[in-house]
Amino acid sequence: MTVTSKMISTIVISGVVLMAPASLRGQGTAEVFTATAAVKTAAGAAASAPVTISVDRKMSKSEADTLVGAFKSGGAPALRKALVGVAPTGTVQIGTGKATPTRLTVERATGSGRLLTIITDQPLLFLGAGVPGAKPQAGYEFAVIDITVDAKGNGTGTIAPAAKIKMNQAAFVVEDYGAEVIQLKEVKKTK
C-alpha cells in the first residue's frame, strides 16, 4: 500500500473554503446529489460504485470558523471534540452500504457554480493495496468529498474515503489512505 498526500480539488479543505467571508451560505434547502465513484490504478485495475450525497444543511461562516479554530488549536482530536453535539449536515452512501452522517458541509461560489466540501468524522471505506475493504490504519479518521456543480447541479468531484486532515500554513491538506484519487463522475442534483 502506498499512502500519498493529495490536494482534493485544487484547494482541499483549504482556508479559502472554510474561511471564505461572503461566499459561505448557512442552512438552506436540502439537496441530493448522485454520482459514480471511479478509480483506476496505475496497473490498470478499475472499480466504480454509485454514490448518493444528501446535504440537509450547509454550515454558516461562524459555525465553520469555530471548527477551523478548534483544528488550529489542537489538530484532528480537537476537531473531533468540537464536532460533538454538532448536528449532522447530511449523509453520504456508497453503493448499497449504509448512509454515513456528514459532519461538516461548506459551500463556496466558483466562476461557473459552486464548490461543496463535505466531511464525515469517520472513514467511509479503506480502499488500498489494490483491494476494497483494505485493513484500516490509525489516523485515517475522516472522509472528504469535494463536488463542483454548475447552476443546474451537474458537475464532478473527488472523494477521499479514508483520510487524515493536516494543516500546512493556512491551508488544510488531506492525506488520503489510497494511492489513487477517486473521481466522482456524472454528479447530478436530483433534489
The amino acid present at 58, given as its one-letter code, is K
Q: What is the mean pLDDT of residues 3-21?
A: 40
Local confidence band at 47 (pLDDT 50, 70, 90 cut-offs): confident
pLDDT, one tens digit per residue, over 59-109 is: 998 998 898 889 888 988 999 899 998 999 999 999 998 999 999 999 999
Distance of alpha carbon 164 from alpha carbon 141, whole angstroms: 6
Distance of alpha carbon 135 from alpha carbon 122, whole angstroms: 15
Task: Output the pTM of the full model.
Answer: 0.80
CB atoms within 10 A of CB 164: 20
Q: How far apart are the first and last CA of the chain?
A: 38
